[in-house]
A and B are shown apart, each in its own frame.
Chain A
């Protein structure tokens, strides 16, 4: 059983790391602010979500696992809000430097 959990952890965290990598590549390579934001949200949402999912079996208790989920949800909320605000400034023509 624990072998399967370990495989699950490694697979999920690796997939999460892949999305972070993809997000960073997008952030560095995409041409304008809006598409860079699009790349970045993948890293936050999917990347961190998969890392969190992979760490759940290792959290050592229901309470700690719930804390991990709450951390992910808070990051989701913050990144969604910040992306909206950056996108709004970018659309108005200002360059968010």
Chain B
């Protein structure tokens, strides 16, 4: 057995073990910790499969951002959790749930194991036509040229998710500021970090966004880093989230997807199909779409974590 396959085996066993622990543990907070560690291990697995784009997205969104959201949810559940766990469902119900879960896992396992080997792939076709788009990163080409409709719907779905979070607000604070106002000690270590890290983080986030055309990276990963820097300043009490009734905020939230739709519809006239790009302009248009989606994504991801409005709107 070679070193590489031993490492892969150890990684796979660790993933299964931590997944099982996440399911089995009783405490919600511990389950969230397990989930974050699982996501980070999973991104190492993606790196070892040479899928750097997927690894970056998994680390940034799957583990980082979702982890923060789940920690917030676990903290909110803490007061009611003890009462809930006291009334446990009966043994037959729990066995039924376990059997149903095992059946789903088994069906997925059979599906994965019965895939033809080698799996049918379009990768050579993508690489062959890569020069005609002008991009160096095949993943970005697939996301924005071949499967543009998926990316368009994705960017709309995250805005819908934010609207869903906002709609949890009670009527009297509608249009107000999301989440509680953080009053941290301005001399605290968190405030220091919130001053030192954002300049570095903003450069890294923009770099990852820009380099996505030719190397692993892209708007989702870059936007998550930028949103994290904003959230850091919010948590340290150095900045506050804008009230959700601000006009500029709402315009920026829909500007990205709207521009994407506009360019997509224009493709019907100039290139003969919706979401097609005219010859020679593909790279330019893709970069324009990504640049328009970046502010939308930064705002959406940060405000998703900031939560539903809890304080009244400014008079």
Contacts and interface: CB of A to CB of B under 8 A. Distances in A.
Interface string A68-97: 000000100100010011001000000001
Nearest to B193: A81
Interface string A42-86: 000000000000000000000000000000001001000100110
Contact of A85 (B27, B29, B189, B196): B189
Nearest to B29: A97
A88 B27 CA distance: 23
B200 A74 contact: yes
B28 to A, nearest CB: 11
B197 interface: yes
Interface residues of A, number: 7
Contacts of B282: none
A88 B193 CA distance: 15
A77 B196 contact: yes
A55 B64 CA distance: 27
B190 interface: yes
A77 B196 CA distance: 9
A10 to B, nearest CB: 14
Contact of B190 (A77, A81, A97): A81
Interface string B183-223: 00000011011001100100000000000000000000000
Nearest to A84: B189
Interface size class of B (residues with CB under 8 A): under 10
A17 to B, nearest CB: 14
Nearest to B200: A74
Contacts of B193: 77, 81
Contacts of B29: 97
B197 A77 contact: yes
A61 to B, nearest CB: 15
Contacts of A88: 189
Nearest to B190: A85
A31 B189 CA distance: 25
A52 B140 CA distance: 31
Contacts of A85: 189-190
Nearest to B197: A77
Nearest to A81: B193
Contacts of A74: 200
Nearest to B30: A97
A77 to B, nearest CB: 7
Contacts of B200: 74
A81 B189 CA distance: 6
A81 B232 CA distance: 13
B179 to A, nearest CB: 19
Interface in B15-37: 27, 29
Contacts of B192: 81
Nearest to B27: A97
Given A77-B196, A81-B192, A97-B29, 11 more contacts: A74-B200, A77-B193, A77-B197, A81-B189, A81-B190, A81-B193, A84-B189, A85-B189, A85-B190, A88-B189, A97-B27
Interface of A: 74, 77, 81, 84-85, 88, 97
14 contacts: A74-B200, A77-B193, A77-B196, A77-B197, A81-B189, A81-B190, A81-B192, A81-B193, A84-B189, A85-B189, A85-B190, A88-B189, A97-B27, A97-B29
